[in-house]
């Protein structure tokens, strides 16, 4: 089980690194826009991301 979690964590790091590697200017713009969001907006984005991830896991595991 821990091997799967470490693999998932490694995959997240790879995916997170794609945008700053291929387009640092765009990544910087996205990051600057994210800094302008309110706490509520950031929480909604985080919640949406978690729910989408859980939905994908349900479909993959089924």
Q: For the segment 6-47, what is each residue's pLDDT rounded down to a tens digit?
A: 999 999 999 999 999 999 999 999 999 999 999 999 999 999
What residues make up the domain containing 37?
A: 2-61
Q: What is the DSSP letter of 62?
A: -
Q: How many CB atoms lie within 10 A of CB 53?
A: 10
- For the chain, the domain total comes to 1
Q: Which long-range contacts (CB under 8 A, 24 or more apart) does 49-55 make?
A: none
The answer, yes or no, to whether residue 61 has pLDDT greater than 90, is no
Read off the pTM.
0.73
The answer, yes or no, to whether residue 57 has pLDDT greater than 90, is no
Identify the band that residue 51 occupies on the pLDDT scale cut at 50, 70 and 90.
Answer: very high
The answer, yes or no, to whether residue 2 has pLDDT greater than 90, is no
E-only strand ranges, 1-57: none
């Amino acid at each position: 089980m821990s091997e799967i979690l470490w693999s998932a964590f490694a995959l997240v790091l790879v995916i997170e690194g794609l945008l700053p590697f291929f387009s640092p200017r765009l990544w910087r713009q996205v990051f600057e826009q994210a800094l302008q969001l309110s706490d509520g907006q950031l929480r909604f984005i985080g919640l949406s991301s978690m729910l989408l991830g859980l939905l994908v896991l349900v479909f993959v595991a089924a």
